[in-house]
Structure 1
């Protein structure tokens, strides 16, 4: 899932509130020959040497920003760097610039074009989101229990509240709509609480397998300035 790099809406101090004693980085994404050595969720001490080979790309959450490491080379996370503005996990992301690909407006919107596991916040109502808002469609939600609920999605609307008649349960939901022949398959993973710190939130998304939300988290997190 790709997201805008524009200013974040409702910016708060979620990243900046991390304690100074948090002397470890968290691997968020890795690709290349060394990917198995640095899987998402791995904790890396500031003093540890990260050994990367040619073709390696590792994204690490370090204190209050993300850092992208590109091999070959040996890297340590302890070096002080400048960071961008704070990130608010509960807020909405900034407006899309012209020419950019639309992306979900927040971590907690369910992108109906993306199959996979979706983490659900206990204090945020589930909302559906579609990249293309032109045209009215009928959305059919097939539940794990075998029932199907149909709701109307109005023209010009990209958001739709999850219907109250469809309880969230374990198992796979199939979402299909007018003109879509390949249903989106979604499973929900409930979070007991939304962690206040970015590392805790990222760890929860990784643990639950909520990949689309983790990608959105990475794309909208502050990045280190040169």
Structure 2
């Protein structure tokens, strides 16, 4: 998935207040021999040494930006430049896609029907389905728990569709989506957040804790790198 710019609306001052200079970074991606020592969700202090071996690559969320650290070497987050240019809006839509870019969900809260997995939703989230290809009329069938199924028509040219109100979403509920021409059903599990964190680290941590990997990936890919 190629990165696009996030749309921001909260002021810089508010964002910096939520992510102060003394706040720890949050590991959001980790690969390599030291991945067990730096798993996603681990907090790392500004002055704490991060010792990486050859082949290690970790991504850390710091001050509303990401830093990618590659081993071998020992690093500290306090040595990097903090970014003050990006205020954060968890509910914002992403910027326009560049020509030739691979389509990706327009916001963290749209459900990409091409990806199975756990989906986080807020207490007042209006759930919308999204598809990367919209050139065909399709019939979408959503099977919920207890055998309840809803079918909706998805017209060509439209890439968004509201979740059918006749099939309420429940925390921990599992749903299977099939549609015309698709031989591989998408399986979704819903994780309802009690609230939507307004700071980047809090939101990323919520996605990690709930196992909402596709939303975490989308969030990371649309967060600017540290200067």
Normalising by structure 2, report the TM-score: 0.93
Q: What secondary structure does 1:67 align onto?
A: strand
Residues 109 and 153 of structure 1, relative CA distance in 2, 3 Å threshold: same
Residues 6 and 223, structure 2, Cα contact 8 Å, conserved in 1: no
RMSD: 1.5
Structure 2: segments with no counterpart, 5+ residues: none
Structure-1 residue corresponding to 2:25 = 25
Structure 1: segments with no counterpart, 5+ residues: none
Structure-2 residue corresponding to 1:128 = 129
Aligned residues: 223
Question: In structure 2, what is the Cα distance between the partners aligned to 1:209 and 1:42?
Answer: 14
Structure-2 residue corresponding to 1:43 = 43
Structure-2 residue corresponding to 1:97 = 98
Q: Does the alignment pair 1:143 with 2:144?
A: yes
**TM-fit CA distance, 1:10:** 4.3
Structure-2 residue corresponding to 1:116 = 117
Deviates more, 1:12-21 or 1:190-199: 12-21
Q: Which runs of 4+ in 1 moved over 6 A?
A: none
Question: In structure 2, what is the Cα distance between the partners aligned to 1:37 and 1:46?
Answer: 17
Structure-2 residue corresponding to 1:214 = 216
Structure-2 residue corresponding to 1:70 = 70
| CA displacement 1:129-183 (0-9 Å, x = unmatched) | 0000111100000101212110000110000000000011233200010000110
Question: In structure 2, what is the Cα distance between the partners aligned to 1:92 and 1:176?
Answer: 26
Q: What secondary structure does 1:188 align onto?
A: strand
Normalising by structure 1, report the TM-score: 0.93
**TM-fit CA distance, 1:116:** 0.2
Question: In structure 2, what is the Cα distance between the partners aligned to 1:61 and 1:10?
Answer: 17
Residues 122 and 190, structure 1, Cα contact 8 Å, conserved in 2: yes
Question: In structure 2, what is the Cα distance between the partners aligned to 1:125 and 1:143?
Answer: 18
